[in-house]
Amino acid sequence: MRVSPGAGGLPPNVALAQEVNRYIAAAVPRMHEFGIRVIELEEGRVVAEVPLVGNTNHLGTMYAGTLFAVAEMLGGALVWPNFDFGRYYSTVKEVLIGYCRPAHTDIRATATLDTDTIARLYRDVATAGRAEYVVDAILTDCSGEVVATSRGTYQVRAH
Amino acid sequence: MRVSPGAGGLPPNVALAQEVNRYIAAAVPRMHEFGIRVIELEEGRVVAEVPLVGNTNHLGTMYAGTLFAVAEMLGGALVWPNFDFGRYYSTVKEVLIGYCRPAHTDIRATATLDTDTIARLYRDVATAGRAEYVVDAILTDCSGEVVATSRGTYQVRAH
């Protein structure tokens, strides 16, 4: 695992989140423009947030595309602590997103990867130059109600 | 069906496309900011486009969220010719999107609804105040290669 120093006295999971946010701002500016920010990132767990302001739809609730964006990006962010993005990259193959209820507030999205899966990713990348993994994301509003869930299939691949 | 006059001598399907683009710019600004534009809209058929410029990812190809956005919006646009959006609105319940190959150019997204489904939507909305429908979208690059496909489940509902 690559470990960022806790720059400026930040907890390591916040420092790592800021690192991936800087990468996203430069590499996928549209994602950054949504206001999507990773707020916690550690091996096997990521949390991101996105504001309602600037992301409303025709009903005044959060636009479906913004909810998709904050869900989808978790899959890439999750492998950031494990793979050097100068040598490897993540890509998405498929996403299913289900919208449970309207999102009336800022939204938090969370996903995890278990240690067995992470170990398999290392093995598959070492032997085949690529590894596939599935990420389930849960999106909640400010009161903790689930507004959407997603399941994405991703790959991490050597450049 | 609501029919827009061919303003400025435009073909009706182009005039209707411009009408829905104006609605989107006001109602879902984030979608408009992607550069997504409906270019043809008639009863049962919609075509939209989105530029690569401004929508690239960490690989220089089109960002997965942008491809989702142009696919997802087709479901709402498809019922625009049939339902007055002052009295009815569309909403999305679920979308599955599959990415087939990297998108290296501007992208065109197309979807259709058959006449039997449209007739059922009118009936269901009249009797239940809402109707559910499924839309399959195909996204192609400038050489006509399919870069992604999606299947979305939508509702049109009375306000």
A75 → chain B, closest CA residue: B64
Taking CB atoms and an 8 Å limit, are A31 and B58 in contact across chains?
A: no
Q: What is the pLDDT of residue A9?
A: 86
Any CB–CB contact under 8 A between B159 and chain A? no
Q: Min CA distance, B24 vs chain A (Å)?
A: 8
Instruction: Tally helices (H) and strands (E) across chain A.
Output: 4, 6
A122–B contact, CB cutoff 8 A: no
Do A28 and B57 lie within an 8 Å CB cutoff? yes
pLDDT, one tens digit per residue, over B74-101 is 999 999 999 998 999 999 999 999 999 9
CB contact under 8 Å between A66 and B30, yes or no, is yes
Region B125-148: mean pLDDT is: 97
Is B34 in Cβ contact with A89 (below 8 Å)?
no
Nearest Cα of chain B lies from the Cα of A62 at a distance, in angstroms, of 9
- A73-83 pLDDT, tens digit per residue, is 999 999 999 99
Query: Alpha-carbon distance A66 to A90, whole Å?
Result: 20
Interface of A with B in 6-45 (CB under 8 A): 23, 27-31, 33-34
Q: Name the pLDDT band for A5 (thresholds 50, 70, 90).
A: low
Share of residues in chain A with pLDDT > 70 (%): 95
Instruction: Read off the pTM.
Output: 0.95
Judge: B30–A31 Cβ closer than 8 Å, yes or no. Answer: no
Q: How far apart are CA B116 and CA B134, in angstroms?
A: 13
Measured torsion, CA atoms of residues A153, A144, A100, A135, in degrees rounded to the nearest 10? 10
B66 part of contact set with chain A, CB < 8 Å: yes
- For chain B, list the strands marked E by DSSP: 37-42, 45-50, 88-99, 107-112, 130-140, 146-158
ipTM reported for the complex, 2 dp: 0.94
CB-nearest partner of B92 from A64, A69, A91: A64
Q: How far apart are CA A110 and CA A140, in angstroms?
A: 9
Residues B40-50: what's their mean pLDDT? 98
What mean pLDDT is predicted for residues B102-108?
A: 98
> Quick check: A68 contacting B, CB < 8 Å?
yes
CB A78, CB A140: distance < 8 Å? no
Residues A152, B68: Cα–Cα separation, whole Å:
13
- Asked if the C-beta of B99 comes within 8 angstroms of chain A's C-beta atoms, the answer is yes
Q: Do B30 and A63 touch (CB under 8 A)?
A: yes
The pLDDT of residue B145 is 98
Residues A114-127: tens digit of each pLDDT? 999 999 999 999 99
**CB within 8 Å of B65: residues ≥ 6 apart:** A30, A31, A34, A65, A68, A69, A72, A73
For chain A, say whether B55 makes contact (Cβ under 8 Å): yes
Per-residue pLDDT at A99: 98
Q: Does B53 touch chain A (CB under 8 A)?
A: no
Label residue B9 by pLDDT band (50, 70, 90): confident
Chain A: residue nearest B23 by CA?
A58
